[in-house]
Amino acid sequence: MGTIGEHNILRRDIGARITYSFDGMFNIPRNKDSKIEYADKGTMKVQYGYYPQKVARNDIQGILEANYQNETLEYTENFYTVDSAKYDDIYMPFSPIILPEYEYKNKKYVRVKANIKGINEHRNNIVTLSNGEIYYDGDYVWVEVLPINWLVDEEAKIMITEDILFAGIRFDKTNSDCDFNNSEIKYFINEYWAKEISQNEEYINETNLKEEIPNQHETKTRKKNPYGFIFNEVSEEDIIKGALESNIAVFLHGRSSEGKSARIKQFDPDCEILYLRNITPDGLNGKSVYNQSTGEMIDIKPTWLQKLEAKCEKEKNKLHIVFFDEITNALPSIQGMAFNIVLDREVNGKWKLPDNARIAAAGNDLEDSLSANELSEPLFNRFAHVYIETKAKDWLEWAVKPKEVYERLDYKKDENTTKIHPSVYAYVAYKSSKGDNVLRTPYTGKKPNADPRKWEMASKVLYREKQPEMLRALIGEDLSKDFTEFCKQQVISIEDVLNEEYNKEELQHMNVSEKYVTAVGLSSVNEENIEKIRKFVSIMGEEILSTFDNLWIHGNEKRLEKIAELKIAEGNKEYVCRY
């Protein structure tokens, strides 16, 4: 690190080269596929670890950003942690933010938000980077992840990075001293940087530089997410299928002739289609007629419901769909009737839809049809929203697909005992503790937003489909991306702890953020298992344990007493052990 004056101790615009001692190790560590080179004056140079270092070329910047926006970049499951504080905010404590790593044509990149110091009074908050491109503060920049070059002093048994690798981290949070061992930057290096440069990589050690020997450093493997999620890209058809299987009404947006009804028919070729633009109240809700012989009013089900019930009874193991087409072109009174059906799965307040019936709807957006009406907020928020834009490739694939191979969806009764998925609980609790309100996001009427009901719907999808990418139809694209990245972190679940499916090495590889997220997720444990879970959390430190206790108690006096009892019991055990 060199030396640093007290006046620079809070600055974030100071870069760092890292020195690494391999004293006590039998060999010099280096990447498995690296070659020994020699720099000026015969100094040995090796490659060890990986880190974002080089700004991508202009043409690659555009390609990567386009693929990122289209969600076609492959996530490698690696990530790098940086400080989210502004360059000139010298008093804000270290606040980690994760940069996911993506792969494109066998190269790896991260997407970084420019945090730029003003250059002068005429060109404020801009900078020209090594690719020759001008960037403004807040722009996104793609940086290539490359092997780290180290210069080796064989006699002193130390290595130092050839280049400055990172900046933006304060040396310390106080001016009282310049003790590196107790500094904020050392905390960052030990807890984040040193662990992340060796993610999923294999290394070899050198005894004889002329021959390679077997790897003596075991590959560090990161634990897969505890929720069993699948992080593959999902198509709009995947989302439609997932929503229907999860018993969530799905709304298809798109211009006329985009094939919205055709997409529904792929899952139920004989679905009941109701054209709400022309339907009468009796046609949708049924009617009451007078029986002259008895003098009573008789309620008669609408024809579509009778047909739907017959299909559902005949094929109880399949899903059958009622499709409300042109719902945005319907009169507000008809929309209100449709809302009651979507909301309660009940027609005219009298007849429940069969358990294996599902609801889909479609309509034109306001800008695509002069006769379209805006959906009310309650009706809009009852749907998973899919935005259809037919591409030639998809249309040609559909054109040659015979009806005989359409995917009929099986009906499976929902058996989940927990209403909210553990990942949703952990995410909302974690974000709330950071002051971010993700439980509710603003309603626009154009794109999905989050609210408590939507998170409950999201839980159904996660239980059934295990694909977080599908949630963009429920809570919006930006929030679903953030949720997905949250779920990719290395955490240990309640089941892992109860079944003892973890090890101490796993805990050592977790950074502070991951430990905190783990504690948040574990705080959903029931009272029966609190003692075992709490004992595990205590291993991660007093601060993490305090957070866990507060989240688990959550204002419940009975739980507060339980935690107090556990603390007393722990104190007694310590007393016995000491004396």
If one counts every other C-beta atom within 10 angstroms of the C-beta of residue 455, the result is 23
- In angstroms, the CA 417 to CA 494 distance is 16
CATH 3.40.50.300 placement within the chain: 248-405
Would you say 33 and 50 are in contact if contact means Cβ atoms under 8 Å apart?
no
CB 75 within 8 A of CB 488: yes
For residue 113, give both structure tokens.
């938000």
Question: Are 322 and 274 a contacting pair, CB within 8 Å?
Answer: yes
pLDDT value at residue 38: 76
Extract long-range pairs of 300-304: CB within 8 Å, 24+ residues apart. 301/347, 301/351, 302/347, 304/272, 304/274
C-alpha 149 chain-centroid distance: 33
Burial class (CB in 10 A: 0-12, 13-18, 19+), 148: buried
CB 27 within 8 A of CB 130: no
Instruction: Note the pTM of the prediction, 2 decimals.
Output: 0.55
Check residue 279 and give its pLDDT.
92
Residues of the chain with pLDDT under 70: 1-10, 12, 23-27, 39-41, 87, 90-91, 117-125, 172-178, 200-226, 366-372, 393-406, 414-418, 571-579
pLDDT for 579: 28
- The Cα 110–Cα 314 span in angstroms is 53
Are 539 and 507 contacting, i.e. CB atoms less than 8 angstroms apart? yes
Could you tell me the two tokens for 232? 């593959």
Do the strands 126-128 and 158-161 form a parallel or antiparallel pair, or are they unpaired? unpaired
- Domain covering 248-405 assigned CATH 3.30.420.40 in the classification: no
Q: First CA to last CA across the chain, in angstroms? A: 45
**Burial tier of 363 (Cβ tally within 10 Å: 0-12, 13-18, 19+):** buried
Q: Which residues touch 292 (CB under 8 Å, ≥6 apart)?
A: none
Q: What angle do CA 458, 464, 465 make, to 5 degrees?
A: 85
Q: In whole angstroms, what is the distance from residue 543 CA to residue 433 CA?
A: 14
Residue 439 sits at φ, ψ, to 5 deg, of -65, -35
